[in-house]
Amino acid sequence: MLLALAAAIIRPATAAAQTTAAIPPARISTEELARLPEISNAALSPDGKSIAFLGRIKGRQAILYRAVDQEAMSRVDLPEKVDFRWLRWAGNDKLLISIERSSRFMNVDVRQTVLLLHDFATKTNKALGRVGRSLEGDDVLFIDPDGHYLLLSMQSDMFDYPSVFRVSLPDGAMTELIRRRAPIWEWYADDTGIVRAGVGFEAGKLKFYYRRSDGEKFDLIAAVKPSDENAYFQIAKIVTGSDEGYALSDKNGRQALYRFNYRTRELGELVYGNDRYDIDDYWLNLGGTALEGVSYTDDRDRVEWFDPVNKKLQGQLDRAIPGREAWVASRSRDGKQMLVLATAPDEPGLYYFLDRTAGQMSPIAAMQRALDPERLAVTRAVHYAARDGTDIPAYLTLPKGRAAKGLPLIVYPHGGPYGVRDKLEYDPQVQFFANRGYAVLQPNFRGSGGYGTAFGDAGIGQIGRKMQDDLDDGMDWLVKEGIVDKGRVCIVGASYGGYAAMWGAIRNPERYRCAASLAGVADLKAMLKYNRRYLDKEAGKRWRARVTGEPEFDLASVSPTQQAARLQRPLLIAHGEDDGTVPIGQSQNLIAALKAAGNSNFEYVAYKEEGHGFSNPVNLKDWFDRLDAFLAKHNPAG
């Protein structure tokens, strides 16, 4: 029944999704493209009877929740000038909501996370913890399955190490369970709520503390230098009641899952790995006693289940929904009810409610109901060789209804840049470019995440240099293939991608006719200084070394602000006034430098009440409209 029903209700991947259509699709309005997802971050309640998600009310973000079998919804309005981070259920009648906001500390801009509790009984919101005393207010270690309490790691003030508190729900009363101790900055608990481990830096060494049970004291089990082999293991979950568990390690060049002894800190046998890609995550069963699955990304996200029941279900979903990614996005505590998300680059996303007991699956919400997939372009995975022979994975989207010959091109690098990557998924900006007639190239340049240690480390010290070469070499490959006209190329990006766009236009004006940056980094040295506010001393040193490479390298030589006088091409710059990730001063100082150099060949817009991206579709539409006019003027698709 599951297979037949899923096949009947899924939006089919039509023949148009397999080949470029003979006739160009109708123009998609910027208003349609700017509609932010009507539903995202959806989560089922533990009893499987209710759903909560991030939605939109009159263009503003809100948390919405309702019974699965009813249409009437309740809402939780988020405070102004904040960015949503995540939501989780606390029992069946309370929601935890993490938000991030910009703040000031000792006269400098900082980012601060806050944990909110929404109680269904009273319809009220409460900020949990000691708001304002800690930059990280949402480090939840454990949530009681019945929603009576949670464990929260939090500082008593900005200058102290974090303690672990038991926070009673819904009243928010706090009891200190684990007193702060140097040098621990991160605490870890198992699935029964026992705090089992702590990690921190002291005297240039990474120190690990561990205990097996609640009554034991924490023992120092290791003190290693950050440069030591196997200094770092990623432990996502601690197995309940055992010293034996799992950890992610890249000891063989790619991150893979190994057995791991917490007390001896020794890696055991390989449990699961991939020859080409890093393993991203793993998770345990609901009791925290056994490995259930791992995830990784090749060209799209993948799951490998170890549990035979879920492995069989995943196979059913994949067969029932061909050409789409089918994910179990959330599930009830007993696993009998699930939310399944089906998505693809030409499908914004559909949520389905699966009742495994009844053997029925039915649509529950579309992320973009008004957007017709028939008008969307198909994205495919490609590879090309950089000038030094490095293999660069990328994604290419061609406009529907146009021959793949002599096309105008948008080079669209991702943000990050380290540890981040593009993949096959829906992106409204890519669809905007393709609908206007442009080919779109999304290179996963060296330094991008997911491709192993060597590929990631190849980006060390290469911002503005070889990482930029990789973008240019992608353009050259498409020109050589005859797909792109080398005289009709622009570069556009956001965050680090915005930096790459601006730097590409400054460094290589012979290649790019124009560039556009959203929330872009313009001064690398100033950005490093800003980032240090959120990193301890050792982490700050490692991050600086990764960005700079050679200690003597001058970041000003590859920073748009310091090189503003060299800009020859038209530049579109946009930034959110409340951006806590890349502060708006990055763009403001660039504008000042351009003006000081006598350069007026730019457009600039600042968006009120926006952070590192768009939460208001009115502003996103304005960005698309400006980009539409800018490209039509400086690099028309024809």
Mean pLDDT of 420-441: 96
In a domain, 491, yes or no: yes
Q: Answer yes or no: do 563 and 452 share one domain.
A: yes
Q: How confident is the model at residue 227 (pLDDT cuts 50, 70, 90)?
A: low
Respond yes or no on whether the N-terminal peptide bond of residue 24 is cis (omega within 30° of 0): no
pLDDT at 538: 66
- Give the CA dihedral 364, 367, 369, 370, nearest 10 degrees: 170
In a domain, 121, yes or no: no
**Phi then psi for 501, rounded to 5 degrees?**
-65, -50
Q: Answer yes or no: do 450 and 583 share one domain.
A: yes
Mean pLDDT of 413-428: 95
Residue-wise pLDDT for 326-379, tens only, equals 989 999 999 999 999 999 999 999 999 999 999 888 888 888 887 888 899 999
- Report the side by side order of strands in the sheet with 266-272: 244-249, 256-261, 266-272
Q: Measured between alpha carbons, how far is 411 from 190 in angstroms, rounded to an integer?
A: 44
In a domain, 261, yes or no: yes
What is the residue-averaged pLDDT of the chain?
90
Distances (CA, A) of 619 to 23, 46, 576, 587, 614: 31, 36, 10, 18, 7
User: Is residue 622 a contact partner of residue 630, using CB atoms and an 8 Å limit?
Assistant: no
Mean pLDDT of 212-237: 80
Q: Answer yes or no: do 593 and 488 share one domain.
A: yes
**Gap between the terminal Cα atoms of the chain:** 49
Q: Answer yes or no: do 497 and 589 share one domain.
A: yes
Domain boundary among 306, 326, 346: 306
Mean pLDDT of 51-76: 90
Q: Structural domain of residue 287, as residue ranges? A: 181-306
Q: How confident is the model at residue 232 (pLDDT cuts 50, 70, 90)?
A: low
Strands 219-224, 244-249: parallel, antiparallel or unpaired by DSSP?
A: unpaired
In a domain, 421, yes or no: yes
In a domain, 523, yes or no: yes
Q: Measured between alpha carbons, how far is 528 from 535 in angstroms, rounded to an integer?
A: 10
**Phi then psi for 597, rounded to 5 degrees?**
-85, 0
Q: How confident is the model at residue 558 (pLDDT cuts 50, 70, 90)?
A: very high
Q: Which residues of 53-77 are buried (b: 16+ CB within 10 A; e: fewer)?
A: bbbbeeeebbbbbbebeeeeeeebe
Q: Answer yes or no: do 473 and 577 share one domain.
A: yes
Find the CATH number of the domain harbouring 530.
3.40.50.1820
User: Is residue 371 a contact partner of residue 37, using CB atoms and an 8 Å limit?
Assistant: no
Q: Answer yes or no: do 538 and 619 share one domain.
A: yes
Domain boundary among 306, 327, 359: 306
Q: Measured between alpha carbons, how far is 206 from 3 in angstroms, rounded to an integer?
A: 50
Question: Looking at the 3D structure of the chain, how many domains does it have?
Answer: 2
Alpha helices in 209-339 (DSSP H): 308-320
- Give the CA dihedral 405, 406, 407, 408, nearest 10 degrees: 170
Mean pLDDT of 125-131: 90
Domain boundary among 306, 335, 352: 306
Q: Answer yes or no: do 300 and 447 share one domain.
A: no
Q: Measured between alpha carbons, how far is 135 from 117 in angstroms, rounded to an integer?
A: 18
Q: Which residues of 489-500 are buried (b: 16+ CB within 10 A; e: fewer)?
A: bbbbbbbbbbbb
Q: Answer yes or no: do 294 and 390 share one domain.
A: no
Q: Answer yes or no: do 300 and 381 share one domain.
A: no
Q: Answer yes or no: do 493 and 610 share one domain.
A: yes
The amino acid sitting at 371 is L
pLDDT at 60: 77
Q: How confident is the model at residue 535 (pLDDT cuts 50, 70, 90)?
A: low
Q: Answer yes or no: do 458 and 594 share one domain.
A: yes
Q: Answer yes or no: do 418 and 561 share one domain.
A: yes
